[in-house]
Structure 1
Amino acid sequence: MKRDIRLAILLLSIISLTLAVATAWELWAARERILAKAYTHNLNLTQALDTYVEGIVTQSSMLLLGLAERLENDGSEPAQLERLRHLVQRQQPLFNQLDGIVVYDASGTWLMSSSGDIPSGASSADRTFFIHHRDTPSTDAYIGEPIRSLYNGQWVITVSRRYNHPDGRFAGVISATLGVENFLQLFGKIDIGRHGAIGVATSNGQVLVRYPFRPGDMGRVLSRSPIFTQYRDITTVGTATFTSSLDGIERLYAFRKNERYPLVTSVALGKDEVLAAWYTDALRTVSIALGLLMVIVIIGCLMILAIKRRIGAEALLVAAREELLRANRQLEVLASRDPLTALRNRRSFDDHLAAELRRAHRERTPLGLLLIDIDYFKRFNDTYGHPAGDDCLRCIGRLLADNVRRPGDLTARYGGEELAVILPNTDGAGARAVAEQILQHLWQSNLPHVGSPFGRVTASIGIATLPPGSDASAAALIGAADQALYRAKAAGRNRLDSAPDLGGTPA
Structure 2
Amino acid sequence: MNTRAQSTEQRSSTSLQTLMAGFILFIILAVVVLNGWVVFNSYQRTLEATEKQADNLSLSLSRHAEDTFLQVELLLQDLNERIDQDGFGGPQLLRLQQTLKNRKSTLPQLHGIFIYDSAGHWLVTTADNIPKNANNSDREYFKYHQNTPSTELYIGSVIRSRTNDDLIIPVSMRLNNDDGSFAGVLLATISLNYFKLYYGYYSMGDTDVLAILLSDGHILYGRPFDDSQINRDVSSSPLFMEHLKSSTSGTATFYSTVDHVERIYGYTRLKRYPIVIAAGYNKTQVFSNWKVDSTIYTAIALTLLLIMSSMGAIVLKQIKINEKNQTDLTKVRDQLTAMNHTLETLALLDVLTGLANRRQFDIFLRETIAQSALSGKRIALIMLDVDMFKKYNDHYGHVEGDKCLQTVSHALSSMPRRKEDLIARYGGEEFVIILMDVTEEGAIAFAERALEAIRHQSIPHELTSLDEKVVTASAGVYLFVGTTPAQAPESVIIRADKALYQAKNNGRNRVEIATE
TM-score by length of 1: 0.63
Match of 2:476 in 1: 391
- Determine the C-alpha separation between the residues in 2 that align with 1:52 and 1:159: 16
Residue 255 of structure 2 contacts residue 263 of structure 2 at CA under 8 Å; is this kept in 1?
A: yes
How far apart are 1:244 and its partner, in Å? Answer: 1.4
Match of 2:175 in 1: 163
**Structure 1 residue matching 2:265: 3-state secondary structure:** strand
**Structure 2 residue matching 1:103: 3-state secondary structure:** strand
Match of 2:310 in 1: 298
Residue 160 of structure 1 contacts residue 175 of structure 1 at CA under 8 Å; is this kept in 2?
A: yes
Structure 1 unaligned residues grouped into runs of 5+: 344-385, 420-446, 460-507
Q: Specify whether residues 266 and 292 from structure 1 end up closer, same or farther in structure 2 by C-alpha distance, changes over 3 A only.
A: same
Residue 476 of structure 2 contacts residue 514 of structure 2 at CA under 8 Å; is this kept in 1?
A: no
* Aligned partner of 1:240 among 244, 252, 258: 252
Match of 1:36 in 2: 48
Q: Specify whether residues 44 and 154 from structure 1 end up closer, same or farther in structure 2 by C-alpha distance, changes over 3 A only.
A: same
How many residue pairs get aligned? The number is 380
Match of 1:92 in 2: 104
CA displacement, residues 335-357 of structure 1 (integer Å, 9 cap, x when unaligned): 99997xx89xxxxxxxxxxxxxx
1:109 and 2:194 correspond = no
* Aligned partner of 2:80 among 58, 62, 68: 68
Q: Specify whether residues 91 and 198 from structure 1 end up closer, same or farther in structure 2 by C-alpha distance, changes over 3 A only.
A: same
- Determine the C-alpha separation between the residues in 1 that align with 2:286 and 2:361: 24
* Aligned partner of 2:63 among 32, 38, 51: 51
1:216 and 2:301 correspond = no
Which residue type is aligned with residue 276 of structure 1? S
Residue 133 of structure 1 contacts residue 173 of structure 1 at CA under 8 Å; is this kept in 2?
A: yes
Residue 122 of structure 1 contacts residue 150 of structure 1 at CA under 8 Å; is this kept in 2?
A: no
Residue 118 of structure 1 contacts residue 151 of structure 1 at CA under 8 Å; is this kept in 2?
A: no
Q: Specify whether residues 10 and 320 from structure 1 end up closer, same or farther in structure 2 by C-alpha distance, changes over 3 A only.
A: farther
Q: Specify whether residues 220 and 92 from structure 1 end up closer, same or farther in structure 2 by C-alpha distance, changes over 3 A only.
A: same
- Determine the C-alpha separation between the residues in 1 that align with 2:270 and 2:86: 35
CA displacement, residues 118-141 of structure 1 (integer Å, 9 cap, x when unaligned): 344443334332222222222121
**Structure 2 residue matching 1:160: 3-state secondary structure:** strand
* Aligned partner of 1:196 among 208, 212, 225: 208
- Determine the C-alpha separation between the residues in 2 that align with 1:301 and 1:291: 15
**What does 1:233-312 correspond to in 2, within 5 Å?**
233-307=245-319, 308=322, 309=325, 312=330
Q: Specify whether residues 165 and 84 from structure 1 end up closer, same or farther in structure 2 by C-alpha distance, changes over 3 A only.
A: same
Q: Specify whether residues 261 and 19 from structure 1 end up closer, same or farther in structure 2 by C-alpha distance, changes over 3 A only.
A: same
CA displacement, residues 238-293 of structure 1 (integer Å, 9 cap, x when unaligned): 11222211111222211122232222212122223323332222222122112111
Q: Specify whether residues 106 and 250 from structure 1 end up closer, same or farther in structure 2 by C-alpha distance, changes over 3 A only.
A: same
Structure 2 unaligned residues grouped into runs of 5+: 1-12, 350-356, 367-471, 498-502, 508-512
Match of 1:174 in 2: 186
Task: Choose 1 or 2 for highest CA Rg.
Answer: 2
Match of 1:479 in 2: none
- Determine the C-alpha separation between the residues in 2 that align with 1:294 and 1:34: 29
Q: Specify whether residues 293 and 458 from structure 1 end up closer, same or farther in structure 2 by C-alpha distance, changes over 3 A only.
A: closer
Residue 104 of structure 2 contacts residue 126 of structure 2 at CA under 8 Å; is this kept in 1?
A: no
CA displacement, residues 441-479 of structure 1 (integer Å, 9 cap, x when unaligned): xxxxxx9x999xxxx9899xxxxxxxxxxxxxxxxxxxx
Root mean square deviation, CA, Å: 4.2
How far apart are 1:330 and its partner, in Å? Answer: 9.6
Larger deviation, residues 14-23 vs 3-12: 3-12
Residue 100 of structure 2 contacts residue 125 of structure 2 at CA under 8 Å; is this kept in 1?
A: no
Which residue type is aligned with residue 151 of structure 1? T
